[in-house]
Amino acid sequence: MGGSVSGRAHQILRNALDEANFRKLAAIENPFLHQFVAEVIELCQPSRVFVCTDSEEDKRFIREQAVATGEERPLAIEGHTVHFDGPKDQSRDREATKYLVPKGESLGSAFNQIDRDEGLAEIRELLRGSMRGHTLIVLFFSLGPVGSPFSILCVQCTDSFYVAHNEILLYRTAYEQFRREGKGAEFFRFVHSSGRLDENMVSVDWRKRRIYIDYITNTVYSVNTQYAGNSMGLKKLALRLAIRKAAREGWLAEHMFIMGVHGPGGRKTYFAGAFPSGCGKTSTAMTPGETILADDIAYIRNINGEARAVNPEIGIFGILKGISPDREPLIYRILTSPGEVIFSNVLVKDGRPYWLDMGRELPKEGVNPWGRWWEGKTDEEGNPIPPAHKNARYTVSLHPLPNCDPELDNPMGVPLSGIIYGCRDARAYVIVQQGFDWLHGIIAYGAALETVTMFTVLDEGKEEINVMAVQDFLSISVGEYLRNYIEFGKGLREPPAVFGVNYFLLDENGEQVANIHERAVWLKWMERRVHGDVGALLGPTGLLPKFDDLRAIYREVLGEEYPRERYERQFTIRVPENLAKIERVERFYQRHVPDAPEEVFQVLGAQRERLLEAQRRFGDRLSPFQLEEAA
């Protein structure tokens, strides 16, 4: 470390680290890294420091400490553990997550922001001494395959072995890559502290929970929280920094899955899909018969005129609610077999985890995030306490999964043939449709994406526009973000086909018009569309599947007949509902996005004209049987 580090940082590290850990840190010859770790130590005052390399021994230490500290408890099945977050700390906290914005700058009214100096002073005060009695764990990661042109290096400092354990399951460790890059290594930085803990190892000061993002130094601070979505730097906190970097460098960092859809003759076609949190992203990527490459985040670059994508992660931090042997057979099997799995916020009884809607009766008592639980237990206000939290989660690595795509670690990524936007819209959009071209698709399905917020965020149940399902994570203005997206498509030889899906469409009686298993059919249809194997119908909001094509795929994939009436219910264009949707979206852009690209209004305006024309000819309801074949 010698000459390259200031004397002061050197002294702090020498005093705080034992010989073995000091040597590990010193072996990376990067003065900025040493300075950063020294600053964290000086501010947070940990009692010990552990530096995690890529070795199995270091990873084992983290797993063991997660249990030894009581942050996790072992379960009956080998490799399974459970962690409980505090009762008020079980989802992403939008309110407490803010950008630190220098004086004179603003990200726009759609953002939660605070003056940078004020925010830094506040968070530093909250972090001061926060690691007393705790171990500071220093971890090195690569978002994306190690050494790939897509990848971003990261350093995580945390005093939670649970956070560290999650991250070694979800991300590629890159200690050796840091050593190779030495002085030249640039990296994102994350500082997390759970703060004061009670006897259950739960953050006491959750009211002072803060997650502050400093895009000037690519550093994120998170304190007095444990929920992984708030505390794990590499997930949505890193995505925020990556989105900014991507827009400046002309690539895309997205809230998307990546999957291989298997077509006729052994063909495999890659799709990426953006869905708001809790709206079917992981479950689509885990569709039986297909392969999963990413379930939450994708980096997409133009490589020699082709859109190629990698997963910055190597694991899943997934939602448990609704995972049953019938609905999600692949994930259910993984969660009930030996192997490394961290469960959070479930009900535990006799060493077994239970979650909501798991397709079996739950025990009448056990232990859950609210302590000892029994059926009928109520909180202080007399409200019933559920057996498990709605946002209970599991963490697993992708590599051991039988359906893991073999290209997961390809440093050049996989070629993307299609992009899917999934909204949560009860009223308007049909079940699946294809955009006329890149611009129409990304605006009409992506930029106009409407949803209802789910239990993954604290303000559940709100109808809103969630631009490209990434709105929560944007760190640049919506206008700048969309401009980059539009330009990205223009730079490609052949942009991916763009699709819009809406699993949540209801009929006039409020019944779902589709079931979960039909996703498999729509994926196969999209795959065939990309290759021109099937035709389409020309609708006012996009290109629609033809009945005979879907009927054939139904038989093949589900072994079922597809009734004409079902097709008509799923694909009838509801004209007034679609017109109202356009109005809501236009209003959003007029009010909140002063720098919205002109193309947004052009695409929406043309869609309105097509809908009005259809209404003149056919009335308010346009059956797919009335549509003409697309050219």
Residue 453: CA count within 13 A, CB half-sphere: 19
Shorter beta-carbon distance to ligand OXD: residue 277 or 284: 277
Least Cβ distance, residue 391 to Mn ion (angstroms): 12
Nearer to Mn ion among residue 246 and residue 428 (C-beta): 246
Binding site for Mn ion (CB under 5 A): 277, 296
> How many of the other CB atoms lie within 10 Å of CB of 138?
23
- 628-629 vs 537-538, strand pairing mode: antiparallel
Radius of gyration of the chain (CA): 25
* CB closer to Mn ion, 165 vs 255: 255
Q: How far is the CB of 317 from ligand OXD (least distance, A)?
A: 6
**Minimal distance, residue 428 CB to ligand OXD, in Å:** 24
- H or E stretch covering 439: helix 438-441
Closer of 40 and 238 to ligand OXD (Cβ): 238
Q: How far is CA 152 from CA 166, 242, 253, 353, 438, in A?
A: 19, 8, 11, 35, 27
Name the token pair of 372: 């000892």
DSSP conformation letters of 179-239:
HHHGGG--EEEEEEE--SB-TTS-BS-GGG-EEEEETTTTEEEEES---HHHH-IIIIIHH
d(CA 392, CA 438): 37
Q: Is 619 helix (H, G, I), strand (E, B) or coil?
A: coil
Residue that has been written with the tokens 């946002």 in this structure: 391
One-letter amino acid identity for 273? G
**Nearer to Mn ion among residue 158 and residue 277 (C-beta):** 277
Contact 607, 517 (CB under 8 A): no
Could you count the other beta carbons within 10 Å of the beta carbon of residue 587? 11
Tokens read off for 262: 């298997």
Partner in contact with 229, chosen from ligand OXD, Mn ion, none, beta carbon below 5 to 8 Å by kind: ligand OXD
What amino acid positions are annotated as catalytic residues? 279
Q: How far apart are CA 130 and CA 126, in angstroms?
A: 7
Give the residue from 97, 85, 74 showing the smallest Cα distance to 392: 85
At closest approach, how far in Å is the CB of 181 from ligand OXD?
29
Which is closer to Mn ion, CB of 230 or CB of 277?
Answer: 277
Listed residue (390, 404, 424, 433) closest to 280, CA to CA: 424
Whether 593 contacts 430, CB under 8 Å: no
Q: In this complex, which beta carbon is closest to ligand OXD, that of residue 271 or of residue 317?
A: 317
Considering the complex, what minimum distance in angstroms separates the CB of residue 356 from ligand OXD? 17
* Exposed/middle/buried for residue 268 (C-beta within 10 Å: 0-12, 13-18, 19+): middle
Shortest Å, Cβ 277 to Mn ion: 5
DSSP type of residue 266: G
Q: Report the partner that residue 299 touches, choosing among Mn ion, ligand OXD, none (CB closer than 5 to 8 A by kind).
A: none
In the bound state, the residue with its beta carbon closest to ligand OXD is: 277
The rounded distance, in Å, linking the Cα atoms of 398 and 316 is 7
DSSP structure class, residue 4: G
Are 566 and 534 a contacting pair, CB within 8 Å?
no
Give the nearest distance from C-beta 219 to Mn ion in angstroms. Answer: 22
Q: Which of 87, 10, 44 is nearest to 221 (CA)?
A: 44
- For ligand OXD, the closer of residues 101 and 238 by Cβ is 238
Query: Rounded to the nearest whole angstrom, what is the least distance from the CB of residue 622 to Mn ion in the complex?
Result: 34
Main-chain dihedrals φ then ψ at residue 258, nearest 5 degrees: -130, 130
The pair of three-digit structure tokens given for residue 17, joined into one six-digit string: 């680290």
Distance of CA 189 to the CA centre of its chain: 19
Q: Within 10 A of 630 (CB to CB), how many other CB atoms are there?
A: 15
Q: Which does 287 bind (CB under 5 to 8 A by kind): Mn ion, ligand OXD, none?
A: none
Residue appearing with tokens 């949560």: 424
Shortest distance, CB of residue 208 to ligand OXD, whole angstroms?
22
Residue closer to ligand OXD (CB basis): 256 or 537: 256
Q: How far is the CB of 605 from ligand OXD (least distance, A)?
A: 32
Burial of 200 (0-12, 13-18, 19+ CB in 10 A): exposed
187 binds, options Mn ion, ligand OXD, none, Cβ within 5 to 8 A by partner type: none
Do residues 594 and 538 touch, judged by C-beta distance below 8 A?
no
Of 237 and 501, CB closest to ligand OXD: 237
Residues at the site binding ligand OXD, with contacts judged by CB under 6 A: 92, 229, 277, 296, 317, 456
